[in-house]
Amino acid sequence: MIGGLFIYNHKGEVLISRVYRDDIGRNAVDAFRVNVIHARQQVRSPVTNIARTSFFHVKRSNIWLAAVTKQNVNAAMVFEFLYKMCDVMTAYFGKISEENIKNNFVLIYELLDEILDFGYPQNSETGALKTFITQTGIKSQHHSKEEQSQITSQVTGQIGWRREGIKYRRNELFLDVLESVNLLMSPQGQVLSAHVSGRVVMKSYLSGMPECKFGMNDKIVIDKQGKGGASEEAAGKSGGGGGKQSIAIDDCTFHQCVRLSKFDAERSISFIPPDGECELMRYRTTKDIILPFRVIPLVREVGRTKLEVKVVIKSNFKPSLLAQKIEVRIPTPLNTSGVQVICMKGKAKYKASENAIVWKIKRMAGMKESQISAEIELLPTNDKKKWARPPISMNFEVPFAPSGLKVRYLKVFEPKLNYSDHDVIKWVRYIGRSGIYETRC
């Protein structure tokens, strides 16, 4: 199991050091600094073995988090834990920075004592932790007996992510379908790979212990219902009526509140949500993706000292919708001396420090086309190696789900309190963003 956990600043100074196992000595702290943080070359692996001691590290801005062990630990678990540790810290004091860590080091030690015992991760749900580990350090002493046992049963319990007795005057929930669409396209316009990785983020302000059921236009469910006939529930029908097409989900993963065995058996998504925000599910699709933009590059080398670049972008969605925050990044060679750009729409600038022409458009409606052309002057070099031509990348945001996913229903039942599904105010929003959206040129 994890033998110790260290946090360093960018210089390699230790900010936090907590050792859980006897086999990890103080010299481990220095070994990591010398061999990884101060190493001259780029990090070649997130796992490093130095003198039979293994170091796992992740970096958040310029802060290094390293877990150390001498045993054959579950490596995936260690990384998951490090990410979780970052989440917990962020939830407590915001951005992970040297300043914040120093300011909260007592709190961090307290957290580390709680969420890692003898190197075994324990309950790390922020919601639960916040009930008894507080920044003031005082609250914990004034719990009544009932409160104490409530805390402990929540921390260890079956539903560790929610406490009993939550009350809201207005029961409300927000669903965000956030997708990032990834594309790799050849210069000839052939899709080399494309996939959507999506997340359903739920913000709920519901009283009591609400049972929720979530439905979407999952092909498997729709097909099953189609066979099952009209006997299906009403929500199913209305959803089916709204958008006939269904989508094939390659794979999905759920927040720990979702009953996985039920999903496996009936493909229904039922759960008691944590209070506040949670990422309910993640999914991935690869079929019938709506690619919101098409990038058509044209690069011509004119002699040894000049490049001509022309890039056309075409939007490919309903004309009534608007894409936002569009940015096209056209890489330029390292020996660029000057650039002239002409674009029809938006603003374009050559950024020498980034070796790229950045073309920004604020808004663009569907089924439109725009174009940029640039002349790049090059300094003559005697470098034999050809320019690697990195791909043209693109960023954007569109108000629909490129995978085609639709939320069909989210039903809420609270058997003990007297509010029904109809009383809950529900909001659904779709946002499609670019992930790694690249076209080779």
Partner 1 sequence: MTDSKYFTTTKKGEIFELKAELNSDKKEKKKEAVKKVIASMTVGKDVSALFPDVVNCMQTDNLELKKLVYLYLMNYAKSQPDMAIMAVNTFVKDCEDANPLIRALAVRTMGCIRVDKITEYLCEPLRKCLKDEDPYVRKTAAVCVAKLHDINAQLVEDQGFLDTLKDLISDSNPMVVANAVAALSEIAESHPNSNLLDLNPQSINKLLTALNECTEWGQIFILDCLANYTPRDDRESQSICERVTPRLSHANSAVVLSAVKVLMKFMEMLPKDLDYYGTLLKKLAPPLVTLLSAEPELQYVALRNINLIVQKRPEILKHEMKVFFVKYNDPIYVKLEKLDIMIRLASQANIAQVLAELKEYATEVDVDFVRKAVRAIGRCAIKVEQSAERCVSTLLDLIQTKVNYVVQEAIVVIKDIFRKYPNKYESVIATLCENLDSLDEPEARAAMIWIVGEYAERIDNADELLESFLEGFHDESTQVQLQLLTAIVKLFLKKPTETQELVQQVLSLATQDSDNPDLRDRGYIYWRLLSTDPVAAKEVVLAEKPLISEETDLIEPTLLEELICHIGTLASVYHKPPSAFVEGSRGVMHKRLPARTGSGESTESPDVGTAAGGSAPEAAPSIIPSQGDLLGDLLNLDMAPPTTSGPPPPTTGMQMGGMDLLGGGLDSLLGGDLGGSPAMGAGFGAAPAVMPASLNAPVGGGLGDLFDLGGGVGMPMGAYIPPKIVWLPAMKAKGLEISGTFARRAGVIQMELILTNKAMSIMTDFAIQFNRNSFGLAPAGPLQVLTPLGPNQTIEVSLPLSTVGPVMKMDPLNNLQVAVKNNIDVFYFSCQYPISMLFVEDGKMERQVFLATWKDIPNDNESQFQIKDCHLNSDAASSKLQGSNIFTIAKRTVEGQDMLYMSIKLSNGIWVLAELRVQAGNPNYTMTTIRRSGS
CB of 418 to partner 1, least distance (A): 29
Q: Which of 315, 218, 322 is nearest to 267 (CA)?
A: 218
- Give the integer Cα–Cα distance in Å for 161 and 157: 9
Span of 9-17, 168-176, 351-359, 406-414 interacting with partner 1 by CB under 8 A? 9-17
DSSP per residue, 322-347: EEEEEEEEEE--TTEEEEEEEESSSE
Site for partner 1 in 96-135 (CB under 8 A): 99, 102-106, 109-110, 113, 117-118, 120-125, 132
Site for partner 1 in 281-310 (CB under 8 A): 281-282, 284
CB of 368 to partner 1, least distance (A): 27
Q: Which of 389, 417, 423, 425 binds partner 1 (CB under 8 A)?
A: 389
Identify which of residues 42 and 418 has a Cβ nearer to partner 1 in the complex: 42
Span of 51-59, 227-235, 307-315, 345-353 interacting with partner 1 by CB under 8 A? 51-59
3-class SS string, 151-164: HHHHHHCCCCCCCC
Number of residues that bind partner 1 (CB under 8 A): 106
Identify which of residues 252 and 290 has a Cβ nearer to partner 1 in the complex: 252
45 scored as a contact of partner 1 (CB under 8 A): yes
Contact criterion met (CB below 8 Å) for 376 and 333? yes
CB of 79 to partner 1, least distance (A): 5
CA distances from 172 to 175, 187, 370, 422 (A): 10, 48, 42, 11
CB of 192 to partner 1, least distance (A): 6
CB of 265 to partner 1, least distance (A): 8
Output phi, psi for 420, to 5 deg. -115, 175
Identify which of residues 137 and 319 has a Cβ nearer to partner 1 in the complex: 137
Site for partner 1 in 137-196 (CB under 8 A): 137-138, 140-141, 143, 145, 148-149, 151-153, 155-158, 160, 184, 186, 192-193, 195
Residue 170's CB: how many other CB atoms inside 10 A?
A: 11
Q: Which of 10, 34, 38, 49 binds partner 1 (CB under 8 A)?
A: 49
CB of 351 to partner 1, least distance (A): 17
Identify which of residues 107 and 341 has a Cβ nearer to partner 1 in the complex: 107
Question: Can you read off the two tokens belonging to residue 21?
Answer: 């196992």
- Give the integer Cα–Cα distance in Å for 334 and 390: 11
Site for partner 1 in 215-274 (CB under 8 A): 250-256, 259-261, 263-264
Q: Which of 276, 366, 390, 399 binds partner 1 (CB under 8 A)?
A: 390
CB of 420 to partner 1, least distance (A): 28
Site for partner 1 in 191-220 (CB under 8 A): 192-193, 195, 197
54 scored as a contact of partner 1 (CB under 8 A): yes
Binding residues: 347, 349, 351, 360, 362
Site for partner 1 in 325-354 (CB under 8 A): none
Q: Which of 381, 299, 302 is nearest to 336 (CA)?
A: 381
Kind and range of the H or E run holding 266: helix 260-266
Q: Buried b / exposed e across 119-145, counting CB within 10 Å, b at 16+?
A: bebeebbbbbbebbbeeeeeeeeeeee
Count how many Cα atoms sit within 13 Å of the Cα of residue 182 in the half-sphere of its side chain.
12
26 scored as a contact of partner 1 (CB under 8 A): yes
355 scored as a contact of partner 1 (CB under 8 A): no
DSSP letter assigned to residue 229:
G
Question: Can you read off the two tokens belonging to residue 32?
Answer: 């990591």
CB of 14 to partner 1, least distance (A): 6
Planar angle of CA 29, 32, 35, nearest 5 degrees: 145
Planar angle of CA 250, 251, 254, nearest 5 degrees: 155
- Name residue 19's amino acid: V
Q: Which of 31, 75, 166, 321 binds partner 1 (CB under 8 A)?
A: 75
